[in-house]
Structure 1
Amino acid sequence: MRARGGHRIKAKLTALAAALTLTACGQAPAPEETAPAAAPQAGFPVTIENCGRQLTFDRPPAKVVTGYHPSLETLLALGLGDRIAGRTNFSESAFLPGQQEQYDKIPEISDTIMLPQKEIMLSQGADFVLDNAMASFDAAGGYATVEELNAAGTPVYILGGWCSPEEVLEFTIDDTFDDLRNLGKIFGVSDRAEALVGELQGRLDDVKKRVEGRTPVKVLATDGGKGPVNAYGGSGITHQMITLAGGVNVLADVKGDYTEVSVEKISASQPEALLVSDYATLRGEDMPTSPAKAAEAFAIARNSPAAKDHRYLAVPVAAQHPGYRNILAVTDLARFLHPDAFTP
């Protein structure tokens, strides 16, 4: 993103018009004045690497478009709601405290969780796009590509390093901290970003202290299905959250993040607790409720401790994507898995 020179051209035209007026009055033309260059903002330019690309910013973005909701949540957490000019629709999970009011004030440019189609997206005139997946930049789906947006002066940043299927599996919580620091630099609010990182790291440290020395709880994380089952293997965000919260993923030996797992594997997994991806307001034949998905898993693993105790927690699906909410969710998971660790 580079500063444009429109104000300089306007200043030159104004000076030229003044000179012509003076000439018409029989006076000598005044010398042309050149508008002084805008003073560079402290800390800029900034260059950030993302998805193997170098993004350079000469000034903080002022007209931002956000994709899937965790990207919006992250900017709001950094106090940057006034920079967001357009957002996608969010109806999958409950809002974080105090954020729905801000969400409602931002123009909706897509009625799905995806960015709008190419023509609409390019017409936004945004100077920054924040998302947490590459799906909204697929030309085959009719979307503006990262390259097309960059050529239009709209650089794209992908949260969590989710730049390819392989990199989705390599995600660590540290990637979220890196994102917060990078966004702090991009928007010129590094102090604010460091304060948020410190707060979130403090939450993780508190959880670690509370669950340390306790026997890890065997956890099955599922998104439903009677066979095969949509579940979470030994890589990615959900696996990390389970581990940090004092659990052990019973599907840790399954390659992948969100993947299909056989009924036989689920039946033999013997979980002590169940995590169920929750889509809150989305319901229907294709999107069963969290209790319904839990019942499916309990029926398959019917002899497991989790089924006998009917022990499950609905996890907002937004927390299972890159963004600062996944760090907040670790505390909720730890309270569920080790309630005694959080009693006074």
Structure 2
Amino acid sequence: MLTRRPVAVTLAGALCLAAAACGASPEPTSRAAAGAAAPGYPVTVDNCGRSTTYTKAPDRVVVMNGASVAEVSSLLALGLGDRVVANAQSYGMSEVPGRAEAIKKLPTGDVTLNDAYDIPREALIGLNPDLVLSTTSYGFDAKNGFATRDELEAVQARSYVSPQGCDQDTSRMTVDDSYTLLRDLGRIFHVDDRAEKLVKASRERIADVEAKVEANAKAKAGATAGAAAGGEKAPNVMVVFSNMSMGGNDFSSIAAQGIWNDVLAKAGGANAFASASGTSFADLSKEKVAATSVDALVVIAYNDPHPAAYARELLKEFPQWPAAKNNRYTVLSDSIYLGPSNDLAVEKIARMLHPDAF
């Protein structure tokens, strides 16, 4: 059996960590709403049942951990890294050259993080932010010692929860949510043109991959007019975090529902374990995993310096898989999560599944 590191924090491109305290002001105001509006403002963003109006671009941004890099990566992709006064997100690796290093260089606010590796209430308020970003509403939950959205409003700070994070359920997340995040940040910071450029480039790259996969499938099916990617069964792909334990069974870090399923579909694949759970992760026995036919393996590396070695060990452990017989695997990090780089994950997976298409 492969050894796995236990984790105190649930992962997922979009999973959550911690929360906050109570209280509110009778008449919430904000630095972002005070005074005359800057050019291009005001703009109003609807978020988790709140309508927030900005009259200028925030310049003291705090990024909560949330077991994600979606928010900080999106800020960097939009050229807004200089607005960050404290970032709690990190991943250590990225499909985007230089991104992990850029994240590491961002200020942390010199705060002491809590047991969930996130910024507690008093420390957050002490940073004097004008915008706080969180992957899910869990990052503003009072029960775990985090500042609530009302508390932040009372000290003139805006807050934003990323798409599908309002109810802390990321199982419905798709690539379109990554585009919504970019566009919302584009509006908030009045860099809509940058956001649209990123979305357009991502859509075009994914469309190009899908077209190549479809053309390849048609060629294999004899180039008949009706033959498409659906003409033959999409390969079953196992998406799993390397050396990670999230539950009680041998395999508790298998991705079941969420943005990775949309990424797989766009790459011409299907999640082999989508039916195993209605939530983001499946917690399965070795016997259940062994009984599932896996055509290809995607290993997501999180704080694991040797994810490829983990993939090879896993294929060796299940030699009956077609993936093992064909040595078919790839390693990803942040591109398969919510964030600005899903097109990179789509292309890398498609090249593994359909090499003849490229």
Query: Which TM bucket (shorter chain)?
Result: 0.7 to 0.9
CA–CA distance in structure 1, aligned partners of residues 335 and 102 of structure 2: 19
2:307 maps to 290
1:41 maps to 38
1:339 matched to 2:341? The reply is no
CA–CA distance in structure 1, aligned partners of residues 112 and 316 of structure 2: 36
Aligned residue among 56, 59, 82 for 1:59: 56
1:25 maps to none
Aligned residues with identical type, % of pairs: 33
2:193 maps to 191
CA–CA distance in structure 2, aligned partners of residues 203 and 111 of structure 1: 41
**C-alpha displacement of 1:137:** 2.6
Cα 1:151/1:251, change in 2 over 3 Å? same
TM-score under structure 1 normalisation?
A: 0.79
Q: Does the residue aligned with 2:52 lie in a helix, a strand or coil? A: strand
**C-alpha displacement of 1:299:** 5.1
Deviates more, 1:155-164 or 1:72-81: 155-164
**C-alpha displacement of 1:89:** 5.0
**C-alpha displacement of 1:97:** 1.9
Q: Does the residue aligned with 1:54 lie in a helix, a strand or coil? A: strand
Cα 1:94/1:197, change in 2 over 3 Å? closer
2:280 maps to 257
Cα 1:228/1:107, change in 2 over 3 Å? closer
> Counterpart amino acid of 1:108?
T
Contact 2:33 2:54 in 1 (8 A): no
Cα 1:240/1:58, change in 2 over 3 Å? same
Cα 1:265/1:165, change in 2 over 3 Å? farther
Contact 1:266 1:300 in 2 (8 A): no
Aligned residue among 238, 247, 267 for 2:269: 247
CA–CA distance in structure 2, aligned partners of residues 95 and 303 of structure 1: 30
2:205 maps to 203
> Counterpart amino acid of 2:238?
L
Cα 1:67/1:95, change in 2 over 3 Å? farther
**C-alpha displacement of 1:76:** 0.9
Cα 1:65/1:105, change in 2 over 3 Å? same
Q: Does the residue aligned with 1:48 lie in a helix, a strand or coil? A: strand
CA–CA distance in structure 1, aligned partners of residues 48 and 177 of structure 2: 12
2:148 maps to 145
More helix by share: 1
Aligned residue among 312, 318, 323 for 1:301: 318
- Structure with more contact order per residue of length (Cα contacts < 8 Å, sep ≥ 6): 2
Q: 5+ residue gaps in structure 2?
A: 1-28, 218-231
> Counterpart amino acid of 1:148?
E
**C-alpha displacement of 1:308:** 2.0
How many residue pairs get aligned? The number is 302
1:156 matched to 2:159? The reply is yes
CA–CA distance in structure 1, aligned partners of residues 317 and 251 of structure 2: 11
RMSD of aligned Cα (Å): 2.6
Q: Does the residue aligned with 1:148 lie in a helix, a strand or coil? A: helix
Q: Does the residue aligned with 1:264 lie in a helix, a strand or coil? A: helix
> Counterpart amino acid of 2:272?
V
> Counterpart amino acid of 2:58?
P
**C-alpha displacement of 1:67:** 2.6
1:73 maps to 73
Contact 2:61 2:132 in 1 (8 A): yes
Cα 1:92/1:3, change in 2 over 3 Å? closer
Contact 2:32 2:54 in 1 (8 A): no
Deviates more, 1:129-138 or 1:50-59: 129-138
Instruction: Give per-residue Cα distances to partners, 1:59-81, cap 9 Å, x unaligned.
Output: 11111112343211101111112
Instruction: Give per-residue Cα distances to partners, 1:136-168, cap 9 Å, x unaligned.
Output: 3332322222222222222221223222243x1
1:26 maps to none
1:176 maps to 178
TM-score under structure 2 normalisation?
A: 0.76
Cα 1:296/1:160, change in 2 over 3 Å? farther
Q: Does the residue aligned with 1:47 lie in a helix, a strand or coil? A: strand
> Counterpart amino acid of 1:118?
R
> Counterpart amino acid of 1:337?
L
2:331 maps to 314
CA–CA distance in structure 1, aligned partners of residues 33 and 291 of structure 2: 66
Q: Does the residue aligned with 2:202 lie in a helix, a strand or coil? A: helix
CA–CA distance in structure 2, aligned partners of residues 89 and 130 of structure 1: 11
**C-alpha displacement of 1:192:** 1.5
Cα 1:169/1:310, change in 2 over 3 Å? same
CA–CA distance in structure 1, aligned partners of residues 310 and 252 of structure 2: 10
